[in-house]
Homo-oligomer: A and B are copies of this chain.
Amino acid sequence: MSETVATIVGLTGVIVAVTDEVPRVLAVRQVGDGNGGDALPCGPFDPERQRTLDSGLRRLVAEQAGLDLRYVEQLYTFGDRGRDPYERMGGPRLLSVAYLALTQEQPVRGSGDARWRDWYGYLPWEEWRFGRPPSIDDPIRPALSRWIEEAADAAERRDREERVGICFGLGAAPWDPVRTLERYELLYEVALVGEALRDRDGSTATTATASPLPGTTMALDNRRILATALGRLRGKLAYRPLVFDLLPGEFTLFRLQRVVEALSGQRLHKQNFRRTLAASALVEPTGRVQSEGRGRPAELFRFRRAVLRAKPTAGVAMPTLRPAP
């Protein structure tokens, strides 16, 4: 029960919106560290003003970007030693309670310099909508192969092979959109992300790569938090009606599908998507139609809240699709 002052508690938010079929997260220019990279909106947890962690996060985002959030969910609390460079210089330990929040994209109004950024700009290997991400074939796969070769013994080699196979769907297992965190952590371990080099201080590239490291580097372990958030969101889409917090009150089924595709990072089978949706009774037609340029106008739908009463798991299905030939 010693007065352990050497811990600072902070709140960090992954604020998500989808526009133009691009999933975006709110990012601020990093202030402290001098490298000018991106960072997630964050701030100290203030027990005086904040009744709950959730409300603290809401207030934080309201102040920094003038946004109101439609959905807020606690993600994870990060507290590993050394995640904060200040700590390595003798500062206090930083504990960050990370949150996932959803909203419609709205202009940023706050005092800070918060901007909407393409989520996949930070995690490009997660984007499979336009085919296999190039970064997987070029820097990632060969580096992982080398890493497997460098194993000390046969057992470690087998473990590494297994891990690579599971994470990137290179073995028997298919690509699993939810394993975002496992992938990021593997890439970090293999020093395929800038943070790994930075955190090793020397900045010595253990893994010599011809191509640049994939994805934009972020402050602290913020990219790990982004990966955590993406995995959580992808996983929950299928059994909780979260998408509707990213959409306006009325929307076409196609737009709904596009948002789901944007988040899951893969294309979905259109007819099956609609059939499953109809069967789930998750949406209901408003009776109005929307004509978007060419083609037959689409019917407008709205989220049907009443469905929560009847179904235990109410989420959108993700009918997978073979990769385009």
Interface SS of chain A: loop
Residues of B within 8 A of A6 (CB): 47-48
Residues of B within 8 A of A254 (CB): none
Q: What are the interface flags for A275-300 relative to B under an 8 Å C-beta threshold, 1 for contact and 0 otherwise?
A: 00000000000000000000000000
Complex CA–CA separation, A79 to B99 (angstroms): 13
Is the Cβ of A309 less than 8 Å from the Cβ of B162?
yes
Residues of B within 8 A of A80 (CB): 51-53
Q: A53-B77, A77-B77, A77-B97 are in contact. Are A45 and B4 (CB under 8 A)?
A: yes
Q: In the complex, how many residues of chain A place their beta carbon closer than 8 angstroms to a beta carbon of chain B? A: 44
Question: A62 on the interface (CB 8 Å rule)?
Answer: no
Could you say how many copies of this chain the assembly holds? 2
Question: A155 on the interface (CB 8 Å rule)?
Answer: no
Is the Cβ of B165 less than 8 Å from the Cβ of A44?
no
Give 14 pairs: A residue, B residue, CB < 8 Å, sorted on A. A2-B44, A4-B8, A4-B9, A4-B45, A5-B5, A6-B47, A7-B45, A47-B92, A50-B81, A53-B77, A74-B77, A77-B77, A79-B97, A174-B312
- Closest A-B pairs by Cβ, 7 of them: A47-B93, A176-B312, A172-B310, A53-B79, A77-B77, A51-B81, A52-B80
A residues apposed to B, CB below 8 Å = 1-9, 44-48, 50-53, 74, 76-77, 79-81, 92-93, 95, 97, 162, 165-166, 171-174, 176, 178-179, 308-313
